[in-house]
Structure 1
Amino acid sequence: MFDISLFPRYNFARAWSLASENLTSLEIGYVSSVMVTELLSPNVGPHQPPNHLQPSILPSLQRLCLSVDYITDTMVETVSKCLINLTHLDLRDAPIIEPRVTFDLTNSGFQQINQRGKLKHLSLVRSQEFLITYFKRVNDLGILLMADRCSGMESICLGGFCRVTDSGFKTILHSCSTLYKLRVSHGMLLTNLVFLDISATSLSLTHVSLRWCNLLRNQAVISLASNLDLRVLDLRDCRNLGDEALQAISTLHKLKILLLDGSDITDAGLSYLREGVIGSLVSLSIRGCKRLTDKCISALFDPSSKQELQELDLSNLPNLSDNGIFSLAKSRVPILELRMRQCPLIGDTSIMALASMQVDDHRSHGSSLRVLDLYNCGGITSLSFRWLKNPYFPRLRWLGVTGSVNRDMVDALARSRPFLHVACHGEELGTDHWDGLYMHDNEEMDELEQWLLEGGDESDDEEMEEVENNGEMVE
């Protein structure tokens, strides 16, 4: 691990010539596409005739993950020609201006991908971090030109291909007989027709992500549900999906992760999940589903049934109140990560209910939660901070709160709980499912045990009480 920016461009390729020939995986957080091309392009050796080319560097490389300024035809062609053993290619760009044709990916460059037919995983994503832009020079023809060499691909991720229609996406599904992971984001022309005959293919999809595909309707999910081995289903920001889609999803008894942010589902629709898959789900996100109310909690959770759910995102639900969180606490679901940011009706009562919740045989209060995101919840006051102190929430490692409110209490809480990371600037906590946000149980020290062992940190508690009292005097 090192900082690419420390290398002058003219020294970058020469530095990599020292890399071991046994290197099999390379990931670079950011590098320009021109530097990548220069790195991989064979050069004329010293004291060699002009037609003599040096062997390519990194001859054993199998996995390449790059974040670049622009994904270009030249870079893709160079990668395909020079890395002869590549099986995993992951490219992401984030243009700051609209790319010109010489600094963009076109059908011609797309055709060069996987020339040797060895790729198992392909990911090409145009991020909209700095500019709303897409791969405007790739259409169905580019997909068709590549399709003959993608029969062995197992995972495909395409983000920002706004000109690819149903014909192009169907070509992928019918050409890649071993495909089990499909991810499409900003598929602006992707419709239900892509999946209508998916049951007639030999595919056995386990991971499907269709994000920001606003032309999708319930019928697409009904067709996808024929893949009974689905374990991950990401339908975030597909705003036209409703309760019929949930009814189809309820038949997927192996489903572990379900993301439904921004969809048009209702409380009644969520009851389909309780009857079907809620017992197997590990992660559920219903962030920004505006039609949901407190009843969505009782629709999902039956206190008498065994729950495996560990991650729940209830953020940006304008009609979710303390009554809903009280129902969640009574359900005794062993949740590890709970997010309810931007919920204007969530207040101190929710924190008290969660702090008092006991799960299974744990005698400590609020014992299961490790991540709790309360950022910009409308009813959080200084009273909540009393319930965030020891000995409540002993396993809590990440807490999201609004830093501009009760700033002194936020700082005092952070000092009193050295195991706790307090985020107060609105940042997301643990956006990646496997990002090492916290250690495993057998590797971490239980904060309650540590606190009891040391007799509690009286000075820190006194400091928080003093801050609370001062806050009450001001009020």
Structure 2
Amino acid sequence: RSLSQVHALANVHTVSLRNCSGIRDVSALGHVHTLILSGCKNVTDVRALTHRITDVSALLHVHHLTLSNCEALEHVNVLGSEGSSIQYLDVSNCRGITSISALGRIPVLNISRCHNITTLDGLSHVTNLDISFCRQLSDLSPLYSCQRITDVSALTHVQHLDLSYCHGIQDVGGLALVQYLSLRNCSQVEDVTDVSALGSVTKLNLSDCQNIRDVSMLHHVRSLDLRFCHAAVDVDDLRQRSSGIVYTQGYPSSS
């Protein structure tokens, strides 16, 4: 367990370092055919093994794990299983990964440039999430009620976005392709000018945004929910100019 230097093992076919807690750096083992790291609790960065890594089930003991650019890696949900110690996981640019639904236990998660991830289901408890350049993401409804979210500028490809109860949200001007947008009870939203500039939005929920006043520029929106927006003005003018709008205001019906 006191083994700390593994450079001499670089050309060995099979290396087992099970429970070698003194090992931190395995960068010299990139050409090892079979590598066992089970119990190596101080190994946190295995990017040097990018072409080899396919099974990460032995890394559950690691607290801070970087697996970025691991081209062969496809299955990572085991890292979120009960008993896992992982608090930080970076799988950025691991383009073989398609499912992350079981990683909701991990507080800090970086999945940027994972182009084959299409949904964030199961991640509602992640506190710090990097999804920049995840081009296939279209529905971010699992982010509902994430109150610490303030910056959504990286979500340029998202088409369906529910930011309800995300009280830190103020600016959504970068959501160029969004078609459905819910800002329900986003208490910091006061000015919808940036929303009006999003020409792709056809369905917009602003209910419970009690600080919104001027909604006259939202004439291109086809379905607009303004329930409990008691400060909103010029609503009648908006309805007259856009007869196709499905408009609701006031209190919801008993049904």
Task: State the TM-score, normalizing by the size of structure 2.
Answer: 0.55
- Residues 15-68 of structure 1: per-residue CA shift (max 9 Å, x gap): xxxxxxxxxxxxxxxxxxxxxxxxxxxxxxxxxxxxxxxxxxxxxxxxxxxxxx
CA RMSD of aligned residues (A): 4.0
Which residue matches 1:198? 132
Question: How far is the alpha carbon of 1:143 from its aligned partner?
Answer: 9.1
Of residues 74, 96, 105, the one that matches 1:151 is: 96
Aligned: 1:310 with 2:243: no
Contact 1:267–1:299 (CA under 8 A) maintained in structure 2: no
Contact 2:218–2:238 (CA under 8 A) maintained in structure 1: no
After superposition, residues 53-452 of structure 1 pair within 5 angstroms as 141=86, 151-153=96-98, 161=104, 163-166=105-108, 169-170=109-110, 173-174=111-112, 176-183=114-121, 186-187=124-125, 190-191=127-128, 194-195=129-130, 198-199=132-133, 203-209=135-141, 210-217=143-150, 219=151, 221-222=152-153, 224-225=154-155, 228-242=156-170, 245-249=171-175, 252=176, 254-268=177-191, 270-274=192-196, 276-277=197-198, 279-293=199-213, 295=214, 297-301=215-219, 307=220, 309-320=221-232, 323-335=233-245, 337-342=246-251, 375=252, 400=253, 426-427=254-255
Question: How far is the alpha carbon of 1:198 from its aligned partner?
Answer: 2.2
Q: Which secondary structure state, in structure 2, belongs to the residue aligned with residue 314 of structure 1?
A: strand
Question: How far is the alpha carbon of 1:282 from its aligned partner?
Answer: 2.0
Higher helix share: 1
The structure with more radius of gyration: 1
Q: Which secondary structure state, in structure 2, belongs to the residue aligned with residue 241 of structure 1?
A: coil
Count of matched residue positions in the alignment of Structure 1 and Structure 2: 179
Contact 2:88–2:107 (CA under 8 A) maintained in structure 1: no
Contact 2:81–2:102 (CA under 8 A) maintained in structure 1: no
Task: State the TM-score, normalizing by the size of structure 1.
Answer: 0.32
- 1:272 to 1:203, Cα distance in 2 relative to 1, 3 A: closer
Residue segments in structure 1 that go unaligned for 5+ positions in a row: 1-106, 109-116, 123-134, 302-306, 343-374, 376-399, 401-425, 428-475
Letter in 2 for 1:315: R
- 1:184 to 1:331, Cα distance in 2 relative to 1, 3 A: farther
Q: Which has the higher contact order (CA 8 A, sep 6+)?
A: 2
